């Protein structure tokens, strides 16, 4: 099997709570980001951007998320603490943001898919570099106050939070669909 295809066959997510230091930085991070943005981009709109959460910024972000989550009076203290610490495990969290241009011939869904491809390329690139990664969304990806916290413009939305670091455990692969379950020829 060609090495690139073998890479795809071996990729799996590592739970964010099982990611620790080190993570990519410097030239290695730059190369990962360059590879991540090489995605199909109908109209060359570059309908995405990335926000880095690293070091103390991750904890501050988590503290602010916990404060936003606490607006729900039914939120338990354990769940609030989970929100507060959610971004503290992996050394690097990249927020993948879709920037949708509505005055374009390119449909918004194609622009969001391009941003999703950036997130997936981050997973593949991290795996190729020997790191683990997980793409997460959760309520924070869809919350207006979190969007304001991230200083997103009105045409931007979070596609996901990609946590990247060194796996702290061996992660077994999960069951995958068989080709027969998802593939069929079109019959005219």
Distance in angstroms (rounded) separating the CA atoms of residues 139 and 136: 10
H/E stretch holding 170 reads none
Q: Is 160 helix (H, G, I), strand (E, B) or coil?
A: strand
What pLDDT sits at residue 123?
98
Rounded Cα distance between 86 and 66, Å, is 9
pTM for this prediction:
0.96
The phi, psi pair for 158, rounded to 5°, reads -75, 130
- Is 84 annotated to bind a ligand? Reply is no
Cβ within 8 Å of residue 155, ≥6 positions away: 99, 100, 101, 102
Please provide the CATH number assigned to the domain covering 12-56+90-168. Answer: 3.40.109.10
> What's 89's DSSP letter?
S
* 11 carries a ligand binding annotation: yes
Is 38 marked within a binding site?
A: yes
Would you state the pLDDT for residue 185?
96
Is 42 flagged in the annotation as binding? Answer: yes
Domain ranges in the chain are: 12-56+90-168
With a pLDDT cut of 90, the percent of the chain lying above it is: 96
13 is in an annotated binding site: yes
Residue with tokens 């981009």: 41
Split at pLDDT 50, 70, 90, the class of 36 is very high
Tell me: the pLDDT tens digits for 136-150?
Answer: 999 999 999 999 999
Determine the pLDDT at residue 143: 97
Q: Is 7 annotated as a binding residue?
A: no
30 marked as part of a ligand binding site: no
pLDDT the model gives residue 120: 98
């Amino acid at each position: 099997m060609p090495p690139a295809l073998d890479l795809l066959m071996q990729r799996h997510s590592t739970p964010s709570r099982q990611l620790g230091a080190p993570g990519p930085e410097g030239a290695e991070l730059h190369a990962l980001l360059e590879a991540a943005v090489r995605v199909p981009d109908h109209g060359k709109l570059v309908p995405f951007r990335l926000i880095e959460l690293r070091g103390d910024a991750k904890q501050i972000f988590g503290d602010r998320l916990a404060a936003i989550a606490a607006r729900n009076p039914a939120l338990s203290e354990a769940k609030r603490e989970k929100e507060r610490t959610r971004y503290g495990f992996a050394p690097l969290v990249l927020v993948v943001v879709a920037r949708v241009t509505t005055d374009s011939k390119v449909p918004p869904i194609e622009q969001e898919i391009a941003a999703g491809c950036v997130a997936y390329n981050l997973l593949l690139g991290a795996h190729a570099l020997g790191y683990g990664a997980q793409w997460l969304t959760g309520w924070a990806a869809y919350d207006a106050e979190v969007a304001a916290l991230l200083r997103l413009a009105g045409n931007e939305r979070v596609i996901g939070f990609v946590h990247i670091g060194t796996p702290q455990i061996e992660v077994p692969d999960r069951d995958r669909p068989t080709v027969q379950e998802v593939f069929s020829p079109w019959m005219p």
